[in-house]
Amino acid sequence: MTTDPFALFDTWYAEARKTEINDSNAMALATVDASGQPSLRMVLLKGHGPDGFVFYTNRESRKAGELAGQPHAALLFHWKSLRRQIRIEGPVSLASDQESDAYFASRSRDSQLGAWASDQSRPLADRETFEARFAEMQARFEGGDVPRPPHWGGYRVTPSRIEFWQDRAHRLHERRLFTRSGDGWREGLLYP
């Protein structure tokens, strides 16, 4: 057993990438607004390591507005095929422009164009309006690279707590909690 939560995450994540049929990198992202109203949605993990867990989105979206006002979040990975979950909590910061540019460049062209065409989280009168905006972006960037929109980029959740939950028979589950302590981690168990 490891006492390094990132090594344990890497092991579990590698197993999930082999067993989960779709989106093994899908994670629930929980934020709160200024009044404390929670909001939850699925996003995709696009980078991770000792410095945190990274996802990308429109920085004018609802989640971005909530993170600007309350820069803390919770993440949840649930891998049903493995009967495991990982909960992560911590402060949130912006990923660098260099990281955001590099990831944006790796996306499919249609995903890049969609980032320009979408006013994410804002009301949309009808689907045709969005499709017309997408066609406008296709024409605008035809024959060239699609640069990262200025309103689009990454976020990093730097964990202060990481909990590993493993299903066990008769609901006698195993819960390992890692809590940041200075430059290291304190580990303990929780009752199921």
110 located within any domain: no
Mean pLDDT of the residues in the chain? 96
Going by C-beta distance under 8 Å and a sequence separation of 6 or more, which residues neighbour residue 9?
48, 86, 162
Q: What ranges make up the beta strands (E) of the chain?
A: 26-32, 38-44, 47-49, 52-58, 72-79, 84-94, 152-157, 161-166, 174-181, 184-190
| Residue 134 within a domain | no
Residues 156, 109 contacting (CB under 8 angstroms): no
With cut-offs at 50, 70 and 90, classify the pLDDT of residue 3.
Answer: confident
Is residue 84 a contact partner of residue 165, using CB atoms and an 8 Å limit?
yes
Is residue 56 in a domain? yes
Instruction: Indicate the DSSP class of residue 119.
Output: -
Catalytic residue among 171, 175, 176, 180: 171
User: Domain for residue 52, yes or no?
Assistant: yes
- Distance CA(163)–CA(87), nearest Å, equals 5
Cβ atoms of 187 and 177 closer than 8 Å = yes
**What is the per-residue pLDDT across 70-104, written as a single tens digit (0 to 9) for each?**
999 999 999 999 999 999 999 999 999 999 999 99
In a domain, 123, yes or no: no
The Cα-based distances of 97 to 29, 74, 106, 112 in angstroms read 22, 23, 14, 16
Domain count, the chain: 1
3-state secondary structure of 18: helix
Domain membership flag for residue 122? no
Range of the domain at 24: 5-105+152-190
- Catalytic residue flag (residue 59): no
pLDDT band of residue 166 (cuts 50, 70, 90) is very high
The CATH number of the domain where 101 resides is what? Answer: 2.30.110.10
Question: Does 133 reside within a domain?
Answer: no
Report in angstroms the alpha-carbon separations of 70 from 16, 34, 93, 137, 157. Answer: 31, 7, 11, 33, 13
What are 130's two structure tokens? Answer: 């969005």
Q: With respect to residue 50, please indicate whether it lies within any of the assigned structural domains.
A: yes
